[in-house]
Chain A
Amino acid sequence: MSDWLKPQDTDEKNFLILVVDESRLIKHVVSEALTSHYQVMTATTFNVGMQAIHSATPPDLILLDIVMPGAEGFETFRRFRIDAAATHIPIILLTAESDPEAGPKGLTIGAADFVAKPIVPDVLRARVAIHVQLRQQHIALKAAYDTIQRQKEHVEQALILGRDLQISLLPGMPDKDNRIAAAASMTRSLEVSGDFYDFFYLDPNRLCVCIADVSDKGVPAALFMGMCKALIRAKSEHLLSTADIVTAVNEQILKQNKSCMFVTLILAILDARTGQLTWTNAGHCPPLLVGSHETRTLKARHGLPVGTSDAPFSEGTVLLTEDETLFLYTDGATAINNGKGERFGETRLIEELSHREGSEPQSVLTAVTEAIAAFSKDSGPVDDMTMVALRFMGHGKRLEIALGESAMAAGILDERLKMFLVHSQLPDAYHASIKIVLDELLTNTHKFGKMDGVALKARISVEIEAQNLTIRFSDNGAPFNPLEASAADISSPLAARSIGGLGIHLCRNLMDQISYERRDGKNELTLTKQIFTLRQGAPIVAA
């Protein structure tokens, strides 16, 4: 028995026992047995007993004399039991010698105990002592429970503060960089978390990104997490390879880690000039690489979780192609359950990501978060879940898009084209030309290209190479050579002016050259234009 379970109140004199003695026959023997140890009050009617129970100092224990045989004898007992103030006060029945079944029956309907008459003072005192002790323990437990509850509220308040502090410590997104777009999201359970992510530039061209999951949750995990994060930043200042940084962080943590915590993490460095990604995976879920054709899992492991072994870490490199997105996550994302025992899992995650190819990192994260929420709507609360998406925009030199029929009409090209142009460093004057040409070609294909039994598709590429802009437009529609189309009307008076052919006329005039080829059942148009820039160092050529 723990200390706090021992009766605290050793002065049993404070214990108040109510004797309900309707026949007035047992008063003396009961008083004799108990008054030396406890306070005793006697009620000779039910009502007087009830008054005592509802008084400012209610009894701790009730002794009830059963006078009448059979069911009638329990009438008073029942009336006490159904009174809200009396339900928690234990009742000991004093049963008649002539009714041996009364005691056991009383126990079945809620009596704490019974003592058969004739009353032997020592026996009665011993029985009462047991219940006094139980009662004292109950009171002590209740007090301890209340204390714990109060402390729990304090701790919870502190945890909420801690959690808010953790959130405020999360890094902002990297500065606007034309070459890399980044986004991160964190869905958290109601506790301080062991998940974290970080972004920082090692130099103007290399962005370091980290995602990690500490082995536990709560305050110790949060403290451990803070230490890891600070160590990674510190070690990154003079070490340049992810393997070296993680190895150094691991050494430091092993020295200090008395609590045997560990952290799984991925540390990656993306070179914004080339798209080269160097990464070290220390026991974490593998990174995913979302490209235009497929989503790859970077399965390589470069060591155990940090804090578990003194073996050095290795690293891997991969070259991101333009528009590829690196997706990092903690296992909260895949471990989440749908309430039928199925995990969301990597396969669903990859499928979800493949639909988002080419989207802005932030919209990728929003879509994945929504998909996971929809999947797990019937299961419990969401566990900690952290995701980071890093998109390599490349040099802004080439854009490639495939469009289906509905996409042609819906202006679906706009978002990608807009982003491409923003990052292209192409003079503004060319933006409008590219937009007009693509709008005209798409409209043309959509209006005139349809053939029975063929799902219309178009493939567009826009490429900027040295001083040349090249637009390639290919569609599987009906054969159509725009160069042979009849000339547009550009001179009739208003009333007689027709609109046909203006789109192609515009394309021919906005670009320098157009060539057409029908190849493999496709119309293939190539449009080129020379780019004149006024930037320093570039030749200034008169238009």
Chain B
Amino acid sequence: MTGNTSQDKVSFSTEVLEDHVNVTAIGEIDSTSSIKFEHELRKLITKGHTKIAVNAEHISLITSAGLRVLLMMAKELYRVSGGFVLYGCQPGVVEVFRITGFDSILHLVDSYEDALTELGGTLTPLSDTKDDSQRVFH
């Protein structure tokens, strides 16, 4: 028995556009596959991309190892006045964000269009604003 590798669990496709990058992740992001997730996002930041939209429609599961990656990336991107938005999250993943309070620090929206609106506007980390109405996915 060989067990699955992180390669089997998650795969990515990345679309580099004029003013942002659209990353589609497919699969489960847990302790083994989060390494690949981090690598994929870090590659983009290293290349100088500061606005990233993550298509989360096909992320079926996320554990704290995946949250760690999201937190790191969000911190780095907002530090350089960039943007980091997840769109189309499945209910199970939203539930994990809710339990861990990540829904208060991540920009979560429904669709790619919404993500573009967010990234196009002047983005600030949610918790730094006192306006709760900007939160999505309650």
> Which one of A239-247, A281-289, A370-378, A407-415 contacts B?
A407-415
A493-525 contacts to B (CB < 8 Å): 493-495, 497, 499, 502-503, 505-506, 509-510
Q: Which of A359, A410, A490 contacts B32 (CB 8 A)?
A: A410
Is there an interface contact between B30 and A358, defined as CB atoms closer than 8 Å?
no
| Nearest CB in chain A to that of B93: its residue | A432
Is there an interface contact between A414 and B63, defined as CB atoms closer than 8 Å?
no
Is there an interface contact between A494 and B78, defined as CB atoms closer than 8 Å?
yes
- Which residues of A are found within 8 Å of B30, using beta-carbon distances? 411, 435-436, 439
* Complex alpha-carbon distance, A416 and B4, angstroms: 10
Q: How far is the CB of B15 from chain A (nearest CB, A)?
A: 26
- Which residues of A are found within 8 Å of B117, using beta-carbon distances? none
Is there an interface contact between A490 and B100, defined as CB atoms closer than 8 Å?
yes
A310-359 contacts to B (CB < 8 Å): 356, 358-359
B67 within 8 Å of A (CB atoms): yes
Is there an interface contact between A499 and B67, defined as CB atoms closer than 8 Å?
yes
Q: How far is the CB of A303 from chain B (nearest CB, A)?
A: 37
Report how many A-B pairs have Cβ atoms within 8 Å. Answer: 101
Is there an interface contact between A432 and B4, defined as CB atoms closer than 8 Å?
no
Is there an interface contact between A506 and B99, defined as CB atoms closer than 8 Å?
yes
Is there an interface contact between A506 and B68, defined as CB atoms closer than 8 Å?
no
> Which one of B17-25, B39-47, B108-116, B123-131 contacts A?
B123-131
Is there an interface contact between B125 and A495, defined as CB atoms closer than 8 Å?
yes
B55-96 contacts to A (CB < 8 Å): 60-65, 67-68, 71, 74-75, 78-79, 92, 96
Q: Which of B1, B61, B74 contacts A356 (CB 8 A)?
A: B1
| Nearest CB in chain B to that of A491: its residue | B101
Is there an interface contact between A411 and B31, defined as CB atoms closer than 8 Å?
yes
A465-507 contacts to B (CB < 8 Å): 488-495, 497, 499, 502-503, 505-506
* Complex alpha-carbon distance, A407 and B78, angstroms: 37
Q: Given A493-B105, A495-B128, A499-B64: A506 and B96 within 8 A (CB)? A: yes
B9 within 8 Å of A (CB atoms): yes
Q: Which of A412, A432, A502 contacts B60 (CB 8 A)?
A: A432
- Which residues of A are found within 8 Å of B68, using beta-carbon distances? 499, 502
| Nearest CB in chain B to that of A490: its residue | B101
A442 within 8 Å of B (CB atoms): yes
Is there an interface contact between A493 and B99, defined as CB atoms closer than 8 Å?
no
| Nearest CB in chain B to that of A505: its residue | B100
| Nearest CB in chain B to that of A433: its residue | B92
Residue-wise interface mask of A (414-444) relative to B, using a CB-CB cutoff of 8 A (1 in contact, 0 not): 1110000000000001001001100110110
Residue-wise interface mask of A (390-416) relative to B, using a CB-CB cutoff of 8 A (1 in contact, 0 not): 000000000000000001011111111
A363 within 8 Å of B (CB atoms): yes
Is there an interface contact between B63 and A439, defined as CB atoms closer than 8 Å?
yes
Q: Given A410-B32, A435-B30: A494 and B74 within 8 A (CB)? A: yes
Is there an interface contact between A495 and B3, defined as CB atoms closer than 8 Å?
no
- Which residues of A are found within 8 Å of B128, using beta-carbon distances? 493-495
- Which residues of B are found within 8 Å of A432, using beta-carbon distances? 60-61, 92
A57-78 contacts to B (CB < 8 Å): none
Is there an interface contact between B31 and A443, defined as CB atoms closer than 8 Å?
yes
Q: Given A494-B126, A506-B96: A436 and B61 within 8 A (CB)? A: yes
* Complex alpha-carbon distance, A497 and B73, angstroms: 12
* Complex alpha-carbon distance, A497 and B4, angstroms: 32
* Complex alpha-carbon distance, A52 and B68, angstroms: 97
* Complex alpha-carbon distance, A490 and B71, angstroms: 12
* Complex alpha-carbon distance, A489 and B100, angstroms: 8
* Complex alpha-carbon distance, A491 and B64, angstroms: 16
Is there an interface contact between B125 and A493, defined as CB atoms closer than 8 Å?
yes
B11 within 8 Å of A (CB atoms): no
Is there an interface contact between B1 and A415, defined as CB atoms closer than 8 Å?
yes
Q: Given A410-B3, A412-B1, A493-B128: A502 and B31 within 8 A (CB)? A: no
Q: Can you add 12 more A-B contacts, CB < 8 Å, to A495-B79, A502-B68, A506-B64? A: A358-B1, A412-B3, A415-B4, A436-B61, A442-B31, A443-B64, A488-B100, A490-B99, A493-B128, A494-B74, A497-B105, A506-B99
15 residue pairs of the A-B complex, CB under 8 angstroms, read A410-B5, A411-B3, A411-B9, A412-B1, A412-B3, A415-B1, A439-B30, A493-B127, A494-B105, A494-B125, A494-B126, A494-B128, A495-B78, A495-B125, A499-B64
